[in-house]
Amino acid sequence: MDIREMQRRNSNKGGRRLGYKLQTPEDRSGRGDNFSSDCMISMQLAAGLPFIAIANATVPGFARQCSALFVGWKHARGPLKAIGTSLAKIASRRGFGSLKIRRIGMSILRVVMAGLAVLLVSLGPTKAELMKARLAQNLSPISGITIIAKAEGFFEKHGLDIEVSNFTTGKQCLDTLIGGGADIATTAEAPVTAAAMSGQPIAFVAGMEYSDLKTLVSVKAGLKTKADLKGKKIAFTAGTGSEVYTSALLKAAGLSASDVTLVNLRPQEMLAALAAGSIDAFDTWEPNVANAKKALGAEVAELDTKGIYSETFNIVVMQAGLSSNPALTEKFLASIIEAETWMKAHPEEAMAIVAKVVGLKEEDLSPIWNDYVYHVAIGPKQLDALEAHSSWRLESGNHPPGAAMPDFSKVIFPDSLRKLDASRVTYKQ
């Protein structure tokens, strides 16, 4: 926009009523007592134009950044227009000389520009400056921390542009990472132990959530205690925490796999199987249990199995990626730590966001929301789960040929998290 167009817009926006007009540089000569020639920038603001004009005149390069972030006009239009209008009214009264008016106007503008500079810095880097990365994410409340980090802009705040691909299991997420389709994966301990036993060069960099697995039973099957599972058909999901939980559950009930009939089903298949009577119970994670309760009502009941097995959900990268670009992991972990803090300060809002992203109704997620323990850490909870799952693999034979208990000091890489917050790392190597 040239100066003539500014002058025309100024006239249309009431500049004539206020007794000033924008002038070209040629008009300035010989008109030192005219406020508009001395404080043309202020009059541009009063005319309702974006503040980018003043940024171009005062801080080279600043306007281009602000324009990219849409900061100036969105946040500054009202206040700056008011400042310009007030200055114009002062000028129209001719109470001060032009030099004093100019000094007043420019002093105010310097303060405004300083404030805008602070605002720009607080908003972080532009999109072009963000570090790009791909996240393979299990689309479930167990990924609540990464969901919030994305939805609330914490990734961008810490300099990341995260592209999210959603999956239904942590195994799919880890397979995508190992296959080169992602830079970061959210996954449970089951896929981690399988990968470690297979010699995959993965790096476990943080846990972010844990929650108890549960058992839902058909009321008509007469199941009221763990011991009642004997002789029944129990669904589980092979290769996941559900399988380890089922083994631990049978052991707690004084039973073995030969005392029951085990049926391998995906979590989303279990409800229909229970309703049809082809199974008597199923072992899985939320929200599948809550969904089945809602659908089947009084026909089902939950066994008391609290504390038998907690599945962890974790952040895993490849060792090569961690070594070549440690800043990515550090920025990612800083983002989810901030997301965790925000979730604990805004639990209702966090639940609403997670429910919307994973496709649940808030009233369905609310009863089980507190079952998810969100905490970015590496400690006994994570190590115990990894060792328990590995022991189960070795005992059950569900492991690669020749596999042994993994040396988790070569799988767990705590330095990135320790650098950010040493109190979150209680794992002893």
Question: Contact at 8 Å (CB) between 332 and 145?
Answer: no
Query: What is the model's pLDDT at position 150?
Result: 98
Question: Contact at 8 Å (CB) between 320 and 203?
Answer: no
Residue 216 or residue 77, greater confidence: 216
In DSSP notation, 120-187 reads HHHT---GGGSEEEEEEEE-SGGGHHHHHHHHTTHHHHTTEEEEEEEESSHHHHHHHHHTTS-SEEEE
Question: Contact at 8 Å (CB) between 183 and 328?
Answer: yes
Residue 127 or residue 72, greater confidence: 127
With b meaning 16 or more CB within 10 Å and e meaning fewer, what string describes 204-215? bbbbbbbbbbbb
Q: Which two tokens stand for residue 243?
A: 């399988």
Distance CA 323, CA 232 (A): 49
> pLDDT tens digits for 7-20?
455 445 444 333 33
What's the chain's Rg over C-alpha atoms?
Answer: 31
With b meaning 16 or more CB within 10 Å and e meaning fewer, what string describes 358-385? bebeeeebeebbebbebbbbbeebbbeb
Nearest to 145 by CA among 424, 427, 429: 424
> pLDDT tens digits for 332-370?
999 999 999 999 999 999 999 999 999 999 999 999 999
The answer to whether residue 24 scores a pLDDT higher than 50 is: no
The one-letter amino acid at 83: I
Span of 40-54, 225-239, 301-315 with lowest mean pLDDT: 40-54
Beta-bridge partners for 162: 133
The answer to whether residue 236 scores a pLDDT higher than 90 is: yes
The answer to whether residue 69 scores a pLDDT higher than 80 is: no
Distance CA 154, CA 342 (A): 10
CA 406: distance to chain centroid? 31
- Residue 217 pLDDT class (50, 70, 90 cuts): very high
Considering the chain, what is the average pLDDT of its residues? 81
Query: What is the model's pLDDT at position 271?
Result: 96
> pLDDT tens digits for 54-68?
334 334 334 334 433
Distance CA 261, CA 269 (A): 17
Query: What is the model's pLDDT at position 14?
Result: 44
Query: What is the model's pLDDT at position 399?
Result: 87
Cβ atoms within 10 Å, residue 112? 18
- Residue 99 pLDDT class (50, 70, 90 cuts): low
What residue ranges define each of the domains in the chain, with the CATH number in brackets? 3-122 (no CATH), 127-212+310-424 (3.40.190.10), 215-302 (3.40.190.10)
Question: Contact at 8 Å (CB) between 193 and 199?
Answer: no
User: Whole-model pTM?
Assistant: 0.68
- What is the torsional sign of CA 228, 272, 373, 165? positive
**Beta-carbon-side half-sphere exposure of residue 428 (alpha carbons within 13 Å):** 1
Q: What is the mean pLDDT of residues 372-390?
A: 94
